[in-house]
Chains A and B, each alone.
Chain A
Amino acid sequence: MRRRPHDDRTLVIRASNGATAVLVHDPGETMAAMHLRVACGSRHDPDGASGSAHAVEHLLYSRDASHRDAEYLRQIQSMGGVINANTSADWTKFFTVIGADLLGFALDLETARFTRPVERFSARALSVECQIIRNERRQRMENVAFGTGVEAVTGVLFPASSHYRRLPIGLPADLNALTAEHCAAHFAALYTGPRVNLTIAGEFERERTAEQALALLDVFGPGPTPDDPVETEPAGPTRRIELASPFGSKVFLGIPLPAETSWDFRLATLASFHLGRGAAARLSGALVDRLGLATGVAVKVMGRAFGASIGVVELVPAAGVSPDTLIAGFDVAMFRIASELSQADLDRAKALYAAGWLSDYDSLLRRNDWLSLFLLHQGSVEPYFTHADAMAATDMEKLRRGVSLWHRPAARAEVVFAA
């Protein structure tokens, strides 16, 4: 184990198996939050087995797969803790927030949970969790108006060979075909030391917590340094599909953005605040208020670490406006927005970005998320603490570049829902 004290409050631990931990001591907090990030996600799902990473995440919480009597979910909640997990394209993350005086118990439970869980992956547990995932898919996507829009975007934007083509939730047919052995193999191959990062923030007893953190890191087996291939950004031409919908019309534009490890991704995110955040969002102002072409505009960013990130623009056409007219109006609006950028626009975008950064700092969980991401991408947590200053120094040229990243009429996905 190698330890590096970053500053008085921050400790970085590197275990001999390659796993890392960041501990940020915040005296005065009554809670502590821990965040375990594993560098595996849906991009590691084999063809025909979409949803594997997500199913493993579920299995790790399954009652049937619990370690002895230490049923993790119930134990943490019985202590008043809050838990959740998330599988994305690149990561699987497990978070817990708990009273500061109970962090030690939570760490012990987490260590037990990740100690050879594959011995407890059973066909029955997998069957139950896959049914639950099917319900999750219905709840989040199939039973929501236009809920399959983003899935359609990634299916159109990325080529067949791309690991980012499918969403983490998986396709129903693939989920039905998953086996416990496959899930066990996924865990064994990908939940290895070099892929694991633990972040803890809040109030805790430092020496004891560092020992327990190391004990948790040590349960993961050794493995090769991740060498995940980086995909090239999808090139044009623009591809379009049309889907029927009983809910009326809606357009989803999927725009390839730079990988989230890049500074350009940060600029694209800053630009997304200018385009789509708040009542003064410029894209809404143009398409809804000025041109009357839309009744709703939303701008979202989905970061990807090893290939193109995805910018999604959702447009609801105004009555009598065709999707083609709306898309053309979007392109006109983007030209105008880029050419009319002002200092006030820059100040507003930076102010909103900075406020979002502060809000994330206040939240132990989101701070943990950022700390672990910076450590993984940049090998240090220092950039996290200087990021706000770096963004504050952004100038007009950089904002203009960020806005330009959103306008790719020759290389985007167009998903059109029509009544």
Chain B
Amino acid sequence: MIPSFGADLARIPVPSGRFDVRRIGAVTTFTVADVAKRMIALRLYWNGGAAAETAGECGAGLVALRALLRSPSRTPGVLPVIEELEALGVTAEAQVAETSWHVDLRGPQPSIGPAVRLVADSLMRGGPVQSSVTASVNQILDMQRRRRHNLAALVEERFRMARASPGGPLARPLEGTEESLRSLQGEKVAAALADLHRSRPRLVVVGGDIAADVAELGDVLAGPFRPDTPPSVAELFAERPPAQISVDSQLNEQGYLLWGTVYPGASPEDYSFLEIATRMIGGWTGSRWHGLFRDELAYTYGLRHHVSALVVGSRLVCSARIGMAVPPAVVGECAERMVADAASIDWAKADPDEIRATAAQLLRVESSRYLSSRSLMTYLAPFAAGGPTATFAAGRVYALRHLDTDRFRGRVAELLATTTLART
């Protein structure tokens, strides 16, 4: 007999989501407790990101980090840092997010210490070599071009930009525009790197404890640091986002629709409520839209459900989206059905058993995030920015375990009050 789920959420086994937090020199280190893997994932990050860049210089921080990795390290050596890292079996990648820049390393336990020392070395360079800057710019432009040829990725980006404050830093590609990227030369990149160094570095470690290896990094990245001055939520996100946007694409063998919301000022409980609600709508094979658009109408191969959170200062911004690819001829029909169906749901009368069963699924799925250091890093790193959200993961689990279905039923309508549908 299949056990009845949802009856006792508090007893479902879930990893703790706890961080061990330490200050090692200037570096604040968040190590995921009680997780031991053969491959360690490490994220070195600085607050700032796309939100901290002007239109003319957007992308400079990312280019600076990528070019640095492609340049030789400070100590005498011929090989670029990234090649030396790969010789250790460590992969490295620099990325920009809405409010941070980061360098991700991933490699075997014995290699991570030397890898951290290599990166520390390279960060002390005054600036990357020009040829690396050019190569990094070309790499980013190529990536953006490929993204335009991926319909789901294109619509996701347009959705994000539509929910951003008009003219604000998130209303453009996070990696920079073609104009800003092509304008980047050595001095601008060096200035971006110097600016990045004035932000206090933080380190998230998954899969093992490398405190001893981090000590050198802490000595190198010594400051002085400027105080964190995060942007306001109003600067970044639209107060009145559009209800619907159209996305043009060369790709016309299929259409794509993405429905969702971005809710600033959320709590871990709100995040859990959004997760549950959107999972009920289209997040698993038993959801409303899976049953309708896949099983009944056979319009789609599958629905994609994504919930994410972003820390802006002390506030948590939650985004929940459901997307699907369908034949072009039915895009209009699907758009109407999605909007109408979402609006028709009376959350005040949602079935408590279904709510609890969905929460139980989410608690159980939590463990699967811990299967690899990479998947766990992707999930936890955005929440390790300090402040009230440092214990976000644990807070979210707590909210699910102590789910109040009446609070859920009273809150979800507000969380989903301003949704956007992006469609081709």
Which positions in A face B, CB cutoff 8 Å? 30-31, 63, 73-75, 77-82, 97-99, 101-102, 105, 109, 127-128, 131-133, 135-136, 138-139, 142-145, 246-247, 277-280, 289, 295-296, 316, 344, 347-348, 351-352, 354-355, 358-359, 361-365
Contact mask for chain B residues 131-163; partner A; CB cutoff 8 A; 1 contact, 0 none: 000010010001000100111000000000000
Q: Which segment of B88-96, B307-315, B413-421 sits at the interface?
A: B88-96
Q: Interface residues of B: mostly helix, strand, loop or mixed? A: mixed
Task: Say how far A406's CB is from chain B's closest CB, in angstroms.
Answer: 19
Alpha-carbon distance between A102 and B5 when the two chains are bound, in angstroms: 11
One of B39, B254, B298 near A359 (C-beta < 8 A): B39
B: interface residue count bin: 35 or more
Residue of B nearest to A364 (CB): B371
A-B contact pairs, 21 of them (CB 8 A): A30-B15, A31-B368, A31-B370, A78-B361, A79-B2, A79-B3, A80-B5, A80-B364, A80-B365, A102-B364, A105-B2, A128-B298, A133-B301, A143-B252, A143-B253, A144-B150, A145-B250, A280-B83, A351-B87, A355-B90, A355-B106
User: B82 contacts A278, CB within 8 Å?
Assistant: yes
One of A30, A128, A358 near B38 (C-beta < 8 A): A358
Alpha-carbon distance between A210 and B80 when the two chains are bound, in angstroms: 51
Asked whether A77 and B371 contact (CB < 8 A) given A139-B254, A361-B38, the answer is no
User: A362 contacts B86, CB within 8 Å?
Assistant: no
Tell whether B185 is near chain A: CB-to-CB under 8 Å.
no
Asked whether A30 and B370 contact (CB < 8 A) given A81-B364, A280-B86, A295-B138, the answer is yes
Nearest first, the 3 A-B pairs at minimum CB distance are A80-B364, A355-B89, A145-B149
Residues on B with C-beta less than 8 A from A142 are 253-254
Task: Say how far B139's CB is from chain A's closest CB, in angstroms.
Answer: 9
User: A80 contacts B363, CB within 8 Å?
Assistant: yes
Contact mask for chain B residues 77-111; partner A; CB cutoff 8 A; 1 contact, 0 none: 00110110011111110000000000000111001
One of A98, A133, A280, A347 near B82 (C-beta < 8 A): A280
Asked whether A78 and B39 contact (CB < 8 A) given A279-B83, A351-B88, A352-B86, the answer is no
Task: Say how far A291's CB is from chain B's closest CB, in angstroms.
Answer: 14
Alpha-carbon distance between A364 and B371 when the two chains are bound, in angstroms: 7
One of A79, A289, A351, A363 near B364 (C-beta < 8 A): A79
User: B138 contacts A344, CB within 8 Å?
Assistant: no
User: A289 contacts B135, CB within 8 Å?
Assistant: yes
Residues on B with C-beta less than 8 A from A143 are 151, 251-254, 325
Tell whether B221 is near chain A: CB-to-CB under 8 Å.
no
Residues on A with C-beta less than 8 A from B83 are 279-280, 348
User: A296 contacts B142, CB within 8 Å?
Assistant: yes
Residues on B with C-beta less than 8 A from A246 are 250
Most A CB within 10 A of own CB, among B106, B251, B327, B371: B371
User: B371 contacts A97, CB within 8 Å?
Assistant: yes
User: A105 contacts B285, CB within 8 Å?
Assistant: no
Task: Say how far A81's CB is from chain B's closest CB, in angstroms.
Answer: 7
Task: Say how far B146's CB is from chain A's closest CB, in angstroms.
Answer: 8
One of A77, A101, A358 near B284 (C-beta < 8 A): A77
Within 8 A of A (CB), among B2-40: 2-3, 5, 13, 15, 37-39
Task: Say how far B27's CB is from chain A's closest CB, in angstroms.
Answer: 24
Residues on A with C-beta less than 8 A from B91 are 278, 352, 355
Residue of A nearest to B294 (CB): A132
Alpha-carbon distance between A59 and B301 when the two chains are bound, in angstroms: 14
User: B372 contacts A363, CB within 8 Å?
Assistant: yes
Residue of B nearest to A80 (CB): B364
User: A78 contacts B357, CB within 8 Å?
Assistant: yes
Residues on B with C-beta less than 8 A from A363 are 371-372
Task: Say how far B348's CB is from chain A's closest CB, in angstroms.
Answer: 24
Tell whether B299 is near chain A: CB-to-CB under 8 Å.
yes
Task: Say how far B328's CB is from chain A's closest CB, in angstroms.
Answer: 9
Tell whether B300 is near chain A: CB-to-CB under 8 Å.
yes
Asked whether A352 and B365 contact (CB < 8 A) given A78-B286, A359-B372, A361-B38, the answer is no
Task: Say how far A78's CB is from chain B's closest CB, in angstroms.
Answer: 6
Task: Say how far B115's CB is from chain A's closest CB, in angstroms.
Answer: 11
Residues on B with C-beta less than 8 A from A247 are 149, 250
Residue of B nearest to A33 (CB): B371
Residues on B with C-beta less than 8 A from A79 are 2-3, 5, 361, 364
Alpha-carbon distance between A80 and B374 when the two chains are bound, in angstroms: 20
Residues on B with C-beta less than 8 A from A128 are 295, 298
One of B89, B138, B325, B372 near A362 (C-beta < 8 A): B372
Alpha-carbon distance between A300 and B162 when the two chains are bound, in angstroms: 36
Tell whether B362 is near chain A: CB-to-CB under 8 Å.
yes
Residues on A with C-beta less than 8 A from B142 are 295-296, 316
Residues on B with C-beta less than 8 A from A133 are 301
User: B107 contacts A355, CB within 8 Å?
Assistant: yes
Within 8 A of A (CB), among B240-262: 250-254
Residues on B with C-beta less than 8 A from A144 are 149-150, 251
Tell whether B64 is near chain A: CB-to-CB under 8 Å.
no
User: A355 contacts B39, CB within 8 Å?
Assistant: yes
Residues on A with C-beta less than 8 A from B364 are 79-81, 98-99, 102
One of A77, A132, A355 near B286 (C-beta < 8 A): A77
Tell whether B367 is near chain A: CB-to-CB under 8 Å.
yes
User: B86 contacts A348, CB within 8 Å?
Assistant: yes
Alpha-carbon distance between A362 and B370 when the two chains are bound, in angstroms: 10
User: B82 contacts A279, CB within 8 Å?
Assistant: yes
User: B371 contacts A138, CB within 8 Å?
Assistant: no
Task: Say how far A25's CB is from chain B's closest CB, in angstroms.
Answer: 17
User: B301 contacts A136, CB within 8 Å?
Assistant: yes
Contact mask for chain B residues 343-366; partner A; CB cutoff 8 A; 1 contact, 0 none: 000000000000001001111111
Residue of A nearest to B295 (CB): A63
Alpha-carbon distance between A247 and B149 when the two chains are bound, in angstroms: 8
Contacts A143-B151, A279-B80 supplied; 19 other A-B pairs, CB < 8 Å: A31-B368, A75-B2, A80-B360, A82-B365, A97-B368, A98-B364, A99-B364, A135-B325, A139-B301, A144-B251, A246-B250, A279-B83, A280-B79, A295-B142, A351-B86, A351-B111, A358-B108, A363-B371, A364-B371
Residues on A with C-beta less than 8 A from B2 are 75, 78-79, 105, 109
